[in-house]
Chains A and B, each alone.
Chain A
Amino acid sequence: ELKVEQNPLFLSMQEGKNYTIYCNYSTTSDRLYWYRQDPGKSLESLFVLLSNGAVKQEGRLMASLDTKARLSTLHITAAVHDLSATYFCAVDSSSNTGKLIFGQGTTLQVKP
């Protein structure tokens, strides 16, 4: 059974600092998704990573995928308060259903 683990689960950081969230998964997959969730809100798609070595960047966020290590990272550069949210990685290991297995989420708190 596919398991997805994120760490850390909670991250408090100062504005302007850099940090990385890690997402490990237990079985082979080449489809990995990152989502953001604000309190009381739904999930917003951030990145879709589809192959080994894939790298995607949007603003201060950059995501990468290493399928051999079964690891994805979400790197935050020069954090700002607006990035405070919970970030989820999700893995699709299905053949054709698109069923996603989510990590526990990383709650990011950026302090001024």
Chain B
Amino acid sequence: DTGVSQDPRHKITKRGQNVTFRCDPISEHNRLYWYRQTLGQGPEFLTYFQNEAQLEKSRLLSDRFSAERPKGSFSTLEIQRTEQGDSAMYLCASSMDIPQPQHFGDGTRLSIL
């Protein structure tokens, strides 16, 4: 069990640029989640995949955000035309079936200049 892996750990970009983050879940986990965490707050749910199907998206996920999980393995989260308000830690988590706990990666910290 190598844990949930996220890449990159830190991304600095200029406002208006596109960014893409990658998440590699624990291999036997069929559920994958993306959350966003800002300083001093708990994580906020963004989206959920079961295998390759994206089954739920938060209202927080504007049309500038898109997530994929091709072949039900790794997942990517893309943010287009980044804005200052996108600065946050983006966390990926994976799990077996409910009610098993979600295992979180170390996150990607996004800083918008």
Interface of A with B (CB < 8 Å)?
A: 4, 31, 33, 35, 41-45, 48, 50, 88, 90, 92, 94, 96-105
A42 in contact with B45 given A33-B101, A48-B101, A96-B98 (CB within 8 Å):
no
* Nearest 7 Cβ contacts at the A-B interface: A102-B42, A45-B101, A43-B104, A42-B104, A42-B106, A98-B98, A97-B56
Q: Are B56 and A99 in contact (CB under 8 A)?
A: yes
What A residues does B103 contact at CB under 8 A?
A: 45
Tell me whether A88 and B42 are in contact in the complex, defined as CB-CB below 8 angstroms, given that A96-B98, A97-B55 are known contacts: yes
The one of A50, A99, A104 in contact with B45, judged by C-beta atoms closer than 8 angstroms, is A99
A105 B98 Cβ-Cβ under 8 A: no
Closest Cβ of chain A to B99, distance in Å, is 5
Beyond A99-B56, A104-B40, 11 extra complex contacts between A and B, CB < 8 Å = A4-B42, A31-B98, A45-B101, A48-B99, A88-B42, A92-B99, A100-B33, A100-B45, A102-B44, A103-B42, A104-B42
Q: In whole angstroms, what is the CA distance A42 to B102 when docked?
A: 12
- Check A105/B42 contact, CB under 8 A, given A48-B99, A98-B31, A100-B102: yes
Binary contact readout B53-67 vs A (1 if CB under 8 angstroms, 0 otherwise): 001100000000000
B95 at the A interface (CB under 8 A): yes
Mask, B8-42, CB within 8 Å of A = 1, is: 00000000000000000000000101010000111
Question: In whole Å, how far is A24's beta carbon from the nearest beta carbon of chain B?
Answer: 14
> Does B91 make an interface contact (CB < 8 A)?
yes
Point out the residue from A92, A100, A105 that lies within 8 Å of B41, measured CB to CB: A105
Known: A42-B91, A97-B55. A92 touches B105 (CB 8 A): no
The docked-state distance in angstroms from the alpha carbon of A96 to that of B48 is: 11
B108 to chain A minimum Cβ distance, whole angstroms, is 11
- Residues of chain A lying within 8 A (CB to CB) of residue B70: none
A88 to B101, CA, bound (A): 13
Residues on the B chain within 8 Å of A44, using CB: 104
What is the distance, in angstroms, from A28's C-beta to the closest C-beta of chain B?
Answer: 15
Return A97 CB to nearest CB of chain B, in Å: 5
